[in-house]
Amino acid sequence: MTLDDILAGLFPTGSKIETTGAIIAGQAVLPDGRPIHVLGITQGQPLGVDEAILLAGHVIEIVKSGDRAPILFLVDSASQRMSKRDELLGLSEYLSHLAKTLLLAEAEGHRTVGLLYGGSAAGAFIATALATGTLVALPGAHPAVMDLPSMGRVTKLPIDVLKAKAEATPVFAPGLDNMTQTGGIHAIWDADAPLAPRLAAVMQRPKGQDDRDRLGAKRGGRRKAAEIADRVVALAATSYQGAQHG
């Protein structure tokens, strides 16, 4: 589906959304009449310092407006921009800053929903889609940490061997199903069903704690993470009580 198809499907009553370069920004109206902010990165472009600061600026303006309207963040990107200039200027701060603004928006009462409809990878994925409160995806989306050929170079394993290993576990290989099984993606939408009701249903989902590790355990893609994290929380509580009496 093209971005235009997706926007038309999500907002049949109309939207005012502009794409400038790789950046999507605008507003739309939900079927129930409520406004929703729409942001995103498109055309499979990399996320560098210039794009990240623009997107973060939009999020901050939304939070400052105090309207508490939800934010839909559309993602079809490459990875972070790999360049000397971006790193020289401190890319990590720009990506973190964007992620923090999205986390801030959710905490300040704006529901944040990520919609992965194309690619995304590595730092760009963390700073956008994975920083939203609920991440959903359309079939055909293709998240990755690193593509298999690059992974082959780093791990010094032939691509055939990597492919065979990827059959056995969802934990390392790129792809939508693997990212869903490990809990990173809340749901994959059916492309043939109308999109607007699906979005409305996600908006109904109560705002809650980070449950991605629990999802990963339930789906069998990340069996240990939730249990380990819970155990650390429990141990910290025990040792704190011990220290008080010690």
Partner 1 sequence: MTAVTANTVSLSWYEASARQRIDALVDAGSFTEFIGPELREMSPHLAIFDLPEQFDDGVVIGRGRLDGAPVLIAAQEGRFMGGAFGEVHGAKLTGLLRAARAQHQDVLILFDTGGVRLQEANAGELAIAEIMRAVVEARRDGLSVVGLIGGRAGCYGGGSLIGGTCSRLIVSEQGRISVSGPEVIETNRGIEEFDSRDRALVWRTMGGKHRFLIGGADMFVDDEALAFRKAAIDALKVGRRCDVTVLEAEQTRLERRLQRFGEAEDAVEIWQALGVDNPTDVPALPTSAFLRAADNRENADDAR
Q: Which amino acid is at 61?
A: E
Residues in contact with partner 1, shown as a per-residue x/- string from 58 to 97 under the rule CB under 8 A: --x--xx---------------x-xxxxxxxxxxxxxxxx
Q: Which is nearer to partner 1, 9 or 40 (CB)?
A: 40
Q: Which is nearer to partner 1, 1 or 165 (CB)?
A: 165
Q: Does 193 bind partner 1 (CB under 8 A)?
A: no
Rounded CA-CA distance 114/139 in Å is: 14
Residue from 17, 23, 24, 99 touching partner 1 (CB under 8 A): that is 99
Residue from 12, 26, 45, 50 touching partner 1 (CB under 8 A): that is 50
CB 122 within 8 A of CB 163: no
Of residues 205 through 244, those in contact with partner 1 by CB under 8 A are 210, 212-213, 216, 221-233, 235-237, 239-240, 243
Residues contacting residue 68 through CB under 8 Å, at least 6 positions apart: 108, 109, 110
Q: Please, which residues bridge with residue 41 across strands?
A: 23, 75
Of residues 120 through 139, those in contact with partner 1 by CB under 8 A are 122-123, 125-127, 130-131
Q: How many CB atoms lie within 10 A of CB 93?
A: 12
* Count of residues touching partner 1 (by CB under 8 A): 83
Of residues 152 through 191, those in contact with partner 1 by CB under 8 A are 153-155, 157, 165, 168-174, 178-179, 182-184
∠ CA 107-119-217, nearest 5°, is 60
Q: Which is nearer to partner 1, 198 or 222 (CB)?
A: 222
Q: Which of 35, 93, 94 is nearest to 65 (CA)?
A: 35
Rounded CA-CA distance 194/211 in Å is: 27
